[in-house]
Structure 1
Amino acid sequence: MSLLCFRTWEHFSCVAVYEGSDRSRFHQKYLNLYSEDERRSHGFETTWGMNSLTSKLTEEQRKQLCDLLGNVELSLLYKASVHGYQASAFHQRCDRQGPTLIVAYNRSGYIFGGYTSVEYARSGQYITDKEAFLFSFQGKIPVRIKINSGHHARLDDAGVPSFGQQLYFCYNNQPVVNNSGSNAFSVNTATMYGNDTQLTECEVYKVEKSVIRKGSQVSTEEKPWRNVLWTAEQRDKLMEMIRNYKPLVTSVSCFRILMIGPVGAGKSSFFNSINSIFMSRITSKAMSGSAATSLTTQFRTYPVKDGREGKLLPFVLCDTMGLEEQSGAGLDIEDISSIFQGHVPDRYKFNPTTPFQPDEQKSSRPASLQEKIHCVVYVIDATKISLMSDKLQEKLASIRRKVNSLSIPQIVLMTKVDEACPLVEKDLQNTYASSYIKTKVQEVSSRLGVPVSCVLPVKNYSQELELELNCDVLLLTALQQMLNFADDYLDDADHVENKPK
């Protein structure tokens, strides 16, 4: 006698079937009720022996989620269409299973969910979990939404799975997701799930660290896709190289590097971070922070000193008003052209409705190489690359066309890598070991039309009170590359200017 394990939409049953024609008739009667695609799409599996659930995730989606979580394996514990949408069914299969990932699907095709590193136990306690996050696939990439500071990740009760007492899955034991309006997570329901609250499926996965077995392929953590020395000696070497860097062109005393990017991407924070490294303490000279509109309203040129009483370093970081997608808001493209040409003075206050108008005397003569911009840096938030609107992307494309026409070198500074990837959040040395960060680098390269080699991931200082070695190495490596590119531009521009006519 054999045991046939038979899973349907509503229940799981085990039926004893005798060898021979009886088994064939049973198999024919029940298995042919549904097509193979129907069975798989609803988690319906028929096997001789042990039963297994079928994940609704594609292999690529599973890989992206594993990359987001950092070198893990996912095991399907619960499937609402099979086990039911009741809280009791969820807890029966998911309690005491360690870290878990919820993946929900709705009628509009959105895939979204949440992760908690603390297991479900129906303890009745509020759970603090700094690693908890929500996510939503934006195109092919899952975008992470971190929990806001000072909030509990969830209430560990006997109810349906929820996050921050805000987002409830299988709400009221129904195929529904509900947003209570709390602010534990900064959720945009239109972006996250298209405001479609009706679920077609809800799955829960056990999250386990991948085990690297002897003789198996080396994990991405052991094979970084870029090589960086994370040592104090390397930091000191980079600082010394930057101190001693001199433009090849004698008429230029320092490199002028222009920072351009959307509101809140981290332009001003990058200057503050570089300034902090050379001042050997956290500084906040440039206004930075989080706001809906740009905190920077003036064109600022920030020199950096080598210590409090030290000499000026051979570069100036130029900060601009943030880009916004609406017309008549944020930095105007005409203003950017004037900045490139060296016509805009320090502390000029931008007016989004009226482009900069240089005075006649200055506009009548071309700016010197010393006054022009020598390298353009696009500052892009790694957590918002997939959310970039078409209008903002077109603005950046227009700027790039202008920069290309002037042959100014361009770099992308991809900020907030720690917020984008939990693996990097745990240890910045994983920046170039994270396949998720590599995916984001490739995505921003494609969106902005710059080579992958010109995209540099960094973490700015934002809430720290002390300097941190790994953060310094990333920031200084990026600055060193900017100086290299600026030097190449000056060398080429000098040859053009001095070319016999």
Structure 2
Amino acid sequence: MPILDNKAYRKQLRTWIGDPALTFDLLYSATRDGCSGQAFHSKCNNQGPTVTVGQNSAGYVIGGYTSIAWTSSGYYFNDDRAFLFQLLPKMVKFVRNGNGNDVYDNTSFGPTFGGGNDLLFFYNSYNKSGAYFNTNGYCKIGNSYDANGYNAQTFTGNNNAYLDIEVYAVKQGNLEDELYRKDKPWRKTDINDWSNKTKDKIFDELVSYSTPSPAKVPAARLLLVGSVGAGKSSFFNTVRSVWKGKVRSQAATGTAPHSLTTKYRVYAIQGGHQTPAFRLCDTMGLEEDQGLDVVDMSYVLDGHVPNHFQFNPAVRITRKSPGFVKDPGLADVIHCVALVIDGSTYKVMPPKVKDRLLAIRTLARGR
């Protein structure tokens, strides 16, 4: 989940920047895009004002704002609107002290603030070690920003192991759209009373669902398709938890540079002794330069890929692949495709991934 999904954080940043209607669009995530200066600048250069925010293993949420766009200039620049901040454990703003060198814009550095540097997240590149990026960043607050009595320990926890480092484009928006529309139902239904009686009725309808009898298919197969981190596996776990009446996790979920789903899985949903006549099928997350492509997906849709099939991101699926089903029946094919999209990151989804989603939609419609 993006750090600025936290409504209190967004509200406080708007107050500090001085505009109650600003929006924050995610440009860069170290977890999604890679923890490197090159990745950061490729996503964030020439994007106007930005907010950088990092969350470390000590639980601190810290960052900086600059009203001037990143450009990989290789120089320091002064920005009379720049500031540093801490959102957790306290909400504190650190303003410029007038010494200059407010922001450092070097192509091999991640977001860097102040001469000295007051806050440097990382330079060069790092891979995750476990759940965190153990970077070479540091904090020497007080060079270009007023420390307010803080030091590296009280500002950052003196901790450079980051769960994620994110950069957001700061744009003019509509206050009502940003603050209130997300709290309204996103889809209107004919159901006005969400009582237990209503939910039981819907549950019974799902349990009693059956496929058309002439087809002789025991269960309809619903394939979930989306980019890495879109939430396919999380969606399955949510459905399973609802069906069980308590939280259950079967599909691997989490945040990683590449797909945590490495096998094709066909999941049945069970609640007590009841198993409805549909199956949820999970695939690898789509990526720019590896993972499933449209040719692979055609084999999945046509039922050639067996349950528990081990995907190899570097090797295409062929008729010689292990377990390849040469003559699938109607019960083996995919009957419905659901494109799973993370609405909070769709604007910055790589174009190649969007193209793959559209191609898969066309492929499915053709069947």
For Structure 1 versus Structure 2, the TM-score category normalised by the shorter chain is 0.5 to 0.7
Q: 2:17 aligns with which of 74, 95, 103?
A: 103
- 1:339 paired with 2:300, answer yes
- 1:246 paired with 2:160, answer no
Q: Sort the Cα spacing of 1:357 and 1:265 in 2 relative to 1 into closer, same or farther, 3 A.
A: same
Q: Which residue of 1 aligns with 2:165?
A: 187
Contact 2:225 2:282 in 1 (8 A): yes
Q: Sort the Cα spacing of 1:273 and 1:405 in 2 relative to 1 into closer, same or farther, 3 A.
A: same
For 2:188 and 2:47, how far apart are their aligned partners in 1?
26
- 1:226 paired with 2:191, answer no
Question: 1:9-48 alignment to 2 at 5 Å?
Answer: none
For 1:240 and 1:306, how far apart are their aligned partners in 2?
12
Q: Which residue of 1 aligns with 2:85?
A: 162
For 2:52 and 2:365, how far apart are their aligned partners in 1?
33
Q: Which residue of 2 aligns with 1:325?
A: 288
Q: Which residue of 2 aligns with 1:352?
A: 313
Contact 2:62 2:85 in 1 (8 A): yes
Q: Which amino acid aligns with 1:370?
A: A
Q: Which amino acid aligns with 2:288?
A: E
Q: Sort the Cα spacing of 1:283 and 1:295 in 2 relative to 1 into closer, same or farther, 3 A.
A: same
For 2:161 and 2:294, how far apart are their aligned partners in 1?
35
- Greater fraction of residues in helix: 1
Q: Which residue of 1 aligns with 2:32?
A: none
Contact 1:104 1:112 in 2 (8 A): no
Displacement of 1:300: 0.8
Question: 1:223-372 alignment to 2 at 5 Å?
Answer: 226-227=188-189, 229=192, 230-250=194-214, 251-307=216-272, 310-326=273-289, 329-358=290-319, 365=327, 367-372=328-333
Q: Sort the Cα spacing of 1:300 and 1:169 in 2 relative to 1 into closer, same or farther, 3 A.
A: same
When the two structures are superposed, what TM-score results if normalisation uses the length of structure 1?
A: 0.43
Residues 105-144 of structure 1, C-alpha deviations (whole Å, 9 max, x = no match): 9xxxx98699xxxxxxxxxxxxxxxxxxxxx9x999x999
Contact 1:338 1:344 in 2 (8 A): yes
Q: Which amino acid aligns with 1:226?
A: K
Corresponding residue SS for 1:382: coil
Q: Sort the Cα spacing of 1:144 and 1:375 in 2 relative to 1 into closer, same or farther, 3 A.
A: farther
Q: Which residue of 1 aligns with 2:76?
A: none
Residues 310-354 of structure 1, C-alpha deviations (whole Å, 9 max, x = no match): 13221111111111111xx22232221101001111111112232
Contact 1:144 1:383 in 2 (8 A): no
Corresponding residue SS for 1:371: coil
- 1:391 paired with 2:347, answer no
Displacement of 1:234: 2.8
Residues 273-328 of structure 1, C-alpha deviations (whole Å, 9 max, x = no match): 11112222211122222211111111111111222xx13221111111111111xx
Percent identity, aligned pairs only, is: 28
Corresponding residue SS for 2:304: coil
Name which one, 1 or 2, has greater alpha-carbon Rg. 1
Q: Sort the Cα spacing of 1:221 and 1:111 in 2 relative to 1 into closer, same or farther, 3 A.
A: closer
Question: 1:200-215 alignment to 2 at 5 Å?
Answer: none
Displacement of 1:164: 4.6
Q: Which amino acid aligns with 1:274?
A: V
Contact 2:54 2:162 in 1 (8 A): no
Q: Sort the Cα spacing of 1:168 and 1:186 in 2 relative to 1 into closer, same or farther, 3 A.
A: farther
Q: What value does the CA root-mean-square deviation take over the aligned residues?
A: 4.9
**Structure 2: gaps (5+ residues):** 1-5, 27-43, 64-81, 104-112, 114-118, 122-159
Q: Which residue of 2 aligns with 1:451?
A: none
Contact 2:237 2:249 in 1 (8 A): yes
Corresponding residue SS for 1:258: strand
Displacement of 1:104: 8.2
Contact 1:299 1:345 in 2 (8 A): yes
Higher RCO, 1 vs 2 (CA within 8 Å, ≥6 residues apart) = 2
For 1:273 and 1:160, how far apart are their aligned partners in 2?
40
For 1:143 and 1:256, how far apart are their aligned partners in 2?
43
Contact 1:297 1:321 in 2 (8 A): yes
For 1:163 and 1:289, how far apart are their aligned partners in 2?
25
For 1:161 and 1:270, how far apart are their aligned partners in 2?
36
Q: Which residue of 2 aligns with 1:481?
A: none
Q: Sort the Cα spacing of 1:221 and 1:306 in 2 relative to 1 into closer, same or farther, 3 A.
A: closer
For 1:104 and 1:330, how far apart are their aligned partners in 2?
43
**Structure 1: gaps (5+ residues):** 1-67, 75-97, 115-135, 194-201, 209-217, 407-501
| Alignment: residue pair count | 260
Q: 2:366 aligns with which of 397, 405, 409?
A: 405
For 1:401 and 1:143, how far apart are their aligned partners in 2?
38
